Amino acid sequence: MQDQLKSANILKFKDGQSFPVEPDLLAVEEPLEIRIGYGPVSKREQKSLSVTMRTPGHDHELALGFLFTEGIIQSFNDIEGIRHCEEVGKEETGNIIRIELKPFIRLDIGTLERHFYTTSSCGVCGKSSLEAISISCSVINSKLKIQNEHLISAPDKLRSAQKVFTYTGGIHATGLFNGDGELIMLREDVGRHNAFDKLVGACLMKDLLPLDTYFILVSGRVSFELVQKAVRSGVPILAAIGAPSTLAMELVERFEQTLIGFLKPTTYNVYNASKRIVF
């Protein structure tokens, strides 16, 4: 966790007065470039696919989760290898990662480039339309049902497990819960999309996908991109501490995913498919 935190000297302002205090801890934010190697053994090619601003740690999971949720790979078996790499003539920085796809994987690089765009605030934001995700995803038919008490206990469990947030207060989390409301896995990152991809990447490596017997809780709001990643991973119930967007609503309705917002220990809103909640 040491590489995820950095101290900063601050001046505190309170009740009309300013005074120095103990250094504050900040969540580290650094770029990660994701490169892919692909093609037949006799003619391997390399492509820089994306750059995302992330909190260092679980980089392999982040890259794998991104490739899976964007439909570039279908399983961990599509991967030949993954490693941090270094620029020619420079020491390894840890901010470039290369994933080698197996020779049989065929890619349309032109199509991939049209589907991705990057911003400095949220990293790679995924597919740009509902039609694009419809190609690789199916309606969620999971029979999972969650007891109300298991759902409302999830925010406290997520918060208690957020180690970096405890020190900084400035980082997102994505938690994977089983049908009994137990927190199975958690990942943190300054980018909510990255936290989600790290979790999916970890599940991919553990052969847990599709996640049709689990529900996921995210610490922030629910955007189109998060629903896209959840649908792609087969998640039947997506819950959030914050609010959903209009595009998020369109997507959960199309794929019959249960969506919960403003989840607190005493209240929450069910925006779609309440059939999976046992009150």
Residue 240, SS3? strand
- Is the N-terminal amide bond of 210 cis, ω within 30° of 0? yes
- State whether residue 38 is helix, strand or coil: strand
Q: What angle do CA 215, 217, 223 make, to 5 degrees?
A: 110
Interatomic CA distance for residues 212 and 234, integer angstroms: 5
Looking at the chain, the number of H-run helices and the number of E-run strands are: 9, 18
Scanning the chain, the segments in alpha helix (DSSP H) are 59-69, 109-115, 130-134, 148-152, 154-161, 163-168, 192-205, 224-232, 246-255
Q: Are 82 and 64 in contact (CB under 8 A)?
A: yes
Whether 203 is catalytic: no
Catalytic member of 85, 122, 125, 203: 122
3, 57 Cβ separation under 8 angstroms: yes
- Which residues form the catalytic set? 122
